[in-house]
Amino acid sequence: MTLLILGLTLWTAGHLWNRFLPGPYAALGKAAYAVSAVVILASVVLMVVGYRAAAPVVFWTAPGWMIHVNNLLMVLAVFTYFATVTPRGTAFVVGNIRHPQLTGVKIWALAHLLVNGDLASVVLFVGLLAWAVLEVILINRQGEKFDRSKAPLKSPWAHLALAVVAFVAIAALHSWVGPWPFGG
């Protein structure tokens, strides 16, 4: 559990240090991106290793049909996450969400909490959900604007295709680091 919590801490620090320590972040210039990337990559490794090594403490067991609800929410999460690659208003109904990537992460975390009732899952998914909520609050408080007018995909159909490809890739990766995501 220690590695999982350390991974969550590094994830949060890697994403938020530019907001809490803007001076040192700016002093590093472009190297700040590399530092953040290394910290975030290390955090993912620690979260995966810590999650897999955690003792099984089960609070609840979801019914089998809940996997389908989770997967439906995951399609929505991935679709919402990738709305940033299209100009505002062109990504079907999710195109006007102010923080589509962070909203996608929140949907992902909530979907996984529905089907994972063990302590490690609760720590991981509540931790990442809390990070995404905090990130939105900080971005809104700082008044940051993300200009999506120059987004690379202009077609909602291209966005949909990207989301489908990403969902398939995520499902394949999931079955490599965790359980098969489609049950059975």
Reading phi first (left if > 0) and then psi (alpha if -120 to 50, else beta), residue 6 is in alpha
| 107 and 39 inside one domain | no
Residue 156 near residue 86 (C-beta atoms within 8 A) = yes
| 175 and 98 inside one domain | yes
| 41 and 62 inside one domain | no
| 46 and 61 inside one domain | no
- Three-state DSSP state, 182: coil
- Give the model confidence (pLDDT) of 143-157 as tens digits: 777 666 666 667 778
| 150 and 63 inside one domain | yes
Please give the tally of structural domains in the chain: 2
Residue finishing a domain among 11, 31, 54: 54
Token pair 């929410």 in the structure block, residue: 73
| 40 and 123 inside one domain | no
Amino acid 20 reads F
Q: Which domain holds residue 125?
A: 55-184
| 137 and 174 inside one domain | yes
Amino acid 99 reads H
4-18, 43-57, 88-102, 122-136: least confidently modelled range? 88-102
Residue 11 near residue 40 (C-beta atoms within 8 A) = yes
Side-chain-side CA neighbours of 94 within 13 Å: the count stands at 24
Q: Kindly state the DSSP code that residue 181 receives in the 8-state scheme.
A: T
- Give the model confidence (pLDDT) of 43-91 as tens digits: 999 999 999 999 999 999 999 899 999 999 999 999 888 887 776 666 5
| 15 and 84 inside one domain | no
Instruction: List the beta bridge partners of residue 118.
Output: 58
| 65 and 149 inside one domain | yes
Side-chain-side CA neighbours of 97 within 13 Å: the count stands at 24
Tell me, what's the pLDDT at 104? Answer: 95
What is this structure's pTM?
0.85
Tell me, what's the pLDDT at 92? Answer: 60
| 79 and 93 inside one domain | yes
| 48 and 75 inside one domain | no
- Give the model confidence (pLDDT) of 157-177 as tens digits: 877 888 889 988 988 888 777
